[in-house]
Amino acid sequence: MKTVLVIGSGGREHAIVDALSRSPRVGKIYCAPGNAGIAAQAECVPIKDTDVSGLVEFASSHSVDLTVVGPEASLAAGVTDAFRASGLKIFGHSKAATRIESSKEFAKVLMEKYSIPTAAYRSFTDYDEALAYVSSRPLPAVLKYDGLAAGKGVVIAETLAEAQAALKDMLVGCSYGQGKVVVEDYLQGPEFSFMCFVDGSRVYPMPLAQDHKRAFDGDKGPNTGGMGAYTSLPFITSEDREFALSNILQRTADAMVAEGCPLSGVLYGGLMKTDGGVKVIEFNARFGDPETEVVLPLFEGDIYSLFEAVAGGVPAEQPLWSSDVTLGVVLASKGYPASYGKGFPIELPAEGKIYHMGTALSEGKCVTAGGRVLMCVARASSLKEALSEAYALVREVRCENLFYRNDIAHIALEQQ
């Protein structure tokens, strides 16, 4: 039986641990650092997800057969390169390949070179030049900080004054570190997430999902890490999906091989269906969160074997997916994505799929420990059923400091 280490501490990692626990080949699962929910299915070890040498040392000394990386921060810290250098098997891209997510400019240059459809752009380090360019283009302006900024590096400026303030912050104030900004054209249309397992030029697609980035109902309020997700998107036709698979995901995998930094892990396409066709909004080099919590429950087969094949660079069996629909609602701490309190006790129902996103154990009790705290997920043969089951589960959670959106999947349901 195999021993696996999962790196990360959120709902995405809980869903990965849950999928691995269904594999007949897996005997022992460790999670570093994990959370209170993961602790019920894996042994949590207190090593930070960016403590590369600590993770290598743990995997070597605990006979770990395979490590699966959740967060981009671990990949960008070079965890994969360090594991491989020590002869350890790991599912996740090299630091060089992770630039597809960690550098907006790298991704834009690649897309331009290989004709991968995306918004037109220019990049700047100089504030005056950036402002002159923005002033010459129609509003709104999309300003993207070039680097990992925990989902907070994108500003959609409706007015020139807003653009000016954001550019000042990114290029003069440098609130996130190094100063470089990608300015791109504003696109419109429904967004969706298309994740694939990728090993060099081998691409294994997962079911499509849609995230809900804004904090409040009706897509109002600030951008968050994602407040809910579901699979089965009626507004994306099979032609759209085929187009995205061959002209975006496959082409990107091939481009990364040609550039000498092949992908080995998950490629996440954050896509938009515009009037001019499907285009890339962003790439991520990892499983999406909360998309993974609705996608992996549909996986049919042995996920360990799939991770192992991708990590080892050998062909995998084509993954099979259930035709059921899943829907998940995120419960977040009041105040999120701005400041929020922690340590509120949580009481959970005995039954139902609830992934922990930001929880901890305090004196043996489960308490809130993050912005996004829990995700209640239901699976059914129709979206309507999945929706009512997921919200029934949400109403069974007892915690005084949580809020959630009431309209997950509204775009899909309005079309039915």
Binding mask 124-143 for ligand AMP (x = CB under 6 A): ------------------x-
Please pick, from the candidates 43, 191, 217, 407, the single residue that binds ligand AMP as defined by CB under 6 A: 191
Q: Give the interface segment with ligand GLY, choosing from 63-71, 108-116, 288-296, 402-410 (CB under 6 A).
A: 288-296
Is residue 291 near ligand GLY by the rule CB under 6 A?
yes
When CB distances are held under 5 to 8 angstroms depending on the partner's kind, the choice from ligand AMP, ligand GLY, none that residue 186 binds is: ligand AMP
Structure tokens at 181: 């900004």
Please pick, from the candidates 262, 288, 328, 358, the single residue that binds ligand GLY as defined by CB under 6 A: 288
CA gap 142, 135 in Å, rounded: 12
CA 277, 282, 285, 286 dihedral sign is: negative
When CB distances are held under 5 to 8 angstroms depending on the partner's kind, the choice from ligand GLY, ligand AMP, none that residue 288 binds is: ligand GLY
Q: How far is the CB of 192 from ligand GLY (least distance, A)?
A: 11
Give the nearer residue to ligand GLY in terms of CB position, either 191 or 407: 191
8 Å CB contact between 83 and 77: no
Binding mask 92-131 for ligand AMP (x = CB under 6 A): ---------------------------x------------
CA 43, 47, 52, 57 dihedral sign is: negative
Which residues inside 257-286 make contact with ligand GLY, applying CB under 6 A?
284
Residue 414 neighbours by CB distance under 10 Å: 10
CA gap 339, 325 in Å, rounded: 34
Q: How far is the CB of 213 from ligand GLY (least distance, A)?
A: 7
Q: Which of 39, 92, 48 is nearest to 66 (CA)?
A: 92
DSSP H helices, 215-302, are: 238-244, 251-258, 291-295
Q: Which of 192, 238, 206 is nearest to 322 (CA)?
A: 206
Q: How far is CA 393 from CA 136, 348, 384, in A?
A: 50, 9, 14
Give the nearer residue to ligand AMP in terms of CB position, either 219 or 259: 219
Binding stretches for ligand AMP (CB under 6 A): 119, 142, 144, 151, 154, 156, 184, 186-187, 191, 213, 270, 281-282
